[in-house]
Structure 1
Amino acid sequence: MPSETEAPANALAALPLPEVNSLSQGQVRGIACVWDGVPLRTATAVDLGERRVRWSGTRTSWFPRACRPCAERQALAAVLEHGQVCEQCTDDHTRCETGLTLVRAVREARR
């Protein structure tokens, strides 16, 4: 059974993101929220972890960021969506690595 300490260092990296090709330049550069496009400051930005994406035919690292309200909203939506299809999470999310990670993502977004 996974424990809370076994979840990834940045659980927010588990959240699904919009397609990188659909985002504005500011969203791709991390100066605007990937979900709603709100301009970000260092104090308001939430790091969503390194992502590997295909960009102009090559694989590259991307470091998306979001505003705290959007990160929390997306994390909660991911927990609910996963919980609807995961029988284990219905009983105890701590027995499911994905469920545990998504619950941690909600907590991280609220910090």
Structure 2
Amino acid sequence: MNAGFVCAAEMLPVPRAAGLTAEQIAGERCVWCGVPASMELGARISPLGGTLQRWEPRACRSCAGREAERVYGLHITTCARCSHRDYCPDREALARLAGERAQ
């Protein structure tokens, strides 16, 4: 699989929706720091108001990059492909997203 087909932002875990503000749940603000959001993280399903609901979290570039760095570090130590030094599209996508933070 080509790393271009993997969406690293969708691999990032997000905070529980129950602990977020209405603006963060609506995708107007970063789910981590609360500043205006510019990056989509993909649709999620979470319990909200007593029922499962679809929501579309978003993040600022800085927080998404920081989280991608953290997930990348976990990924390379647990992925069978990465531990055998094989090509891993998930690793490549996470590294690319983490690198965007610096730009």
Q: What TM-score comes out, normalization by structure 2 length?
A: 0.78
> Stretches of 4+ moved more than 3 A in 1?
103-111
Consecutive unaligned residues in structure 1, runs of 5 or more: none
Q: Provide the rounded CA distance (Å) in 2 between the counterparts of 1:64 and 1:34.
A: 7
**Cα RMSD (Å):** 2.4
1:22 aligned residue:
19
Residue of 14, 17, 33 corresponding to 2:30: 33
Consecutive unaligned residues in structure 2, runs of 5 or more: none
Q: Provide the rounded CA distance (Å) in 2 between the counterparts of 1:108 and 1:46.
A: 12
1:69 aligned partner, one-letter code: S
Give how far 1:79 is off: 0.4
Q: What TM-score comes out, normalization by structure 1 length?
A: 0.74
1:77 aligned residue:
70
Give how far 1:110 is off: 6.8
2:2 aligned residue:
3
- How many equivalent residue pairs? 102
Sequence identity, in percent? 33
Assess if the C-alpha contact under 8 Å between 1:68 and 1:110 holds in 2. Answer: no
